[in-house]
Amino acid sequence: MSSRTILVWFRNDLRVSDNEILLEATRKADQVLPVYCFDPYYFQVTPAGNYKTGNIRAAFLLNAVADLRNNLRRLGSDLIIRVGNPAEIIPQLAEEYHVNEVYHHREVSFEETAVSEALEAALWKIKLNLKHFIGHTLYHKEDLPFPIKDIPDSFATFKKKVERDSAVRPVVQMPDFISTPHISDAGKLPTIEQLGLEEPVIDPRSGFVFVGGETAGLLQLKQHFESHQLLNLGKTARAMGQHGYGSRLSPWLALGCVSLRQVYWEAIGHEQGHHGANPIILELLWRDYFRFMFKKHGSQFFNAAGFKGEAPEVADNQDELFEKWKNGQTGVPFIDASMAELKATGFVSNHSRQQLAAYLVRELKVDWTRGAALFEERLIDYSPASNWGNWTFIAGVGTDQRENKYFNLKPVLDYDAQYIETWLSSPVSNSSLQGASI
């Protein structure tokens, strides 16, 4: 009887714990072949002049993939790393290693689903199946109290119904051991220069450095709850962390270094209030909402008119205004400081993101999709559903058709003078992000 081999294609699920497809593959196959592809498509320059992936997020991703390989090796396995189109690379590996089936987690954005469809078609030609798993949400699709097509477009209604009628599944166990075929060429991790980007630097004005990978993500999860165990969650956002940054877990969530379920059950375990009122669980619910909305509505989130049928008014000189906003030269201290922080670190608080988007759309009257595309390049925690979903909401063209009131910028003008002073000053010195290893 011949042995059975399953190829596990890692995408935005860069972890060995609470990873259903990895555990399922070890149970259904004699051998498991883990693979990660750096797809050049995501490192190109767009027609608008932005990178699909900026160098800060790329560095975080490189660390995450390196950590995944290390964790797989601890389980007796390895990770094949390739640079190229998955629809070409994975079928080649499947034939070379006599693979019987390919597993992966399904994505929802049209670009990511197009990659899956291309691979599925290529595998079909060699009579192999691409099995799809659902694993990027807090609530499993099959546990929702409604089919995808009937999910409420209102977040408030969605939240109320899933909290009342659904339950979060427990995390799945990590495999004790992963048997892998002999790999003749596992491949080297590419350098950031080989991905077509410049090596980023650590800005000394930032008091926090994000390091990619499951190891660092789980450590951040643990440290967050340990440091906030006695915190009264009813206090102001500033009490949640410097400048209202909260848990800072979103970069690890975006790449799946840590799962939403792991965060949820950690929060429940620390008894931080009722789960409907917990700020972290509320964040997880927003991530679920936008992801399910993407599944329901597809590419409408990328249209300037969104779901309203009419795009917001734009200024005649929006090119000039966008450049001022992009470069932090609007003359509004909080806006300019936030843009400086975003450019230097790849991260700003949710409060800053809302204010930046509102100012661009409502005050400067610039096409909101230009801001969303810039965030796609610069955010270290970029994920399509959360980014584009939030921008449509701020622009007033999202799935929730209620009129989106303009954010009151008056408090912003006086908000956190120390923060503004820090980010409007020049950095003293820089050091390489590559030195921030796990």
Q: Are 178 and 77 in contact (CB under 8 A)?
A: yes
Q: Give the three-class secondary structure for 68.
A: helix
At the fourth CATH level, the homologous superfamily of domain 303-424 is DNA Cyclobutane Dipyrimidine Photolyase, subunit A, domain 3 (1.10.579.10)
Give dist(CA 10, CA 35) in Å, integer.
6
- Give residue for tokens 């339950």: 167
Q: pLDDT tens, 297-344?
A: 988 999 999 988 889 999 999 999 999 999 999 999 999 999 999 999
**pLDDT for 427:** 76
Residue type present at position 412: V
Q: pLDDT tens, 10-20?
A: 999 999 999 99
pTM above 0.85, yes or no: yes
Q: pLDDT tens, 73-84?
A: 999 999 999 999
For the chain, list residues with pLDDT below 50: 1, 230-242, 273-276, 403-410, 413, 430-438
At the fourth CATH level, the homologous superfamily of domain 5-135 is HUPs (3.40.50.620)
Domain ranges in the chain are: 5-135, 142-170+213-300, 303-424
Q: Give the three-class secondary structure for 186.
A: coil
Q: Dump the DSSP string for 122-175.
A: HHHHTT-EEEEE--SSSS-GGGSSS-GGG--SSHHHHHHHHHHH--PPPPPPPP
At what angle are helices 214-227 and 260-269 packed, to 10 degrees?
A: 30
Q: Give the three-class secondary structure for 309.
A: coil
**pLDDT for 59:** 98
Report the Cα 371 to chain-centroid distance in Å. Answer: 17
Q: Does domain 142-170+213-300 have CATH number 3.40.50.20?
A: no
Residue 247 burial (10 A CB sphere; 0-12, 13-18, 19+) = buried
Mean pLDDT, rounded, of the chain? 89
Give dist(CA 419, CA 243) in Å, integer.
7
Q: What are the beta bridge partners of residue 101? A: 6, 129
**pLDDT for 243:** 54
Q: Are 138 and 282 in contact (CB under 8 A)?
A: no
Q: pLDDT tens, 336-391?
A: 999 999 999 999 999 899 999 999 999 999 999 999 999 999 999 999 999 999 99
**pLDDT for 298:** 84
Q: Are 51 and 7 in contact (CB under 8 A)?
A: no
**pLDDT for 274:** 44
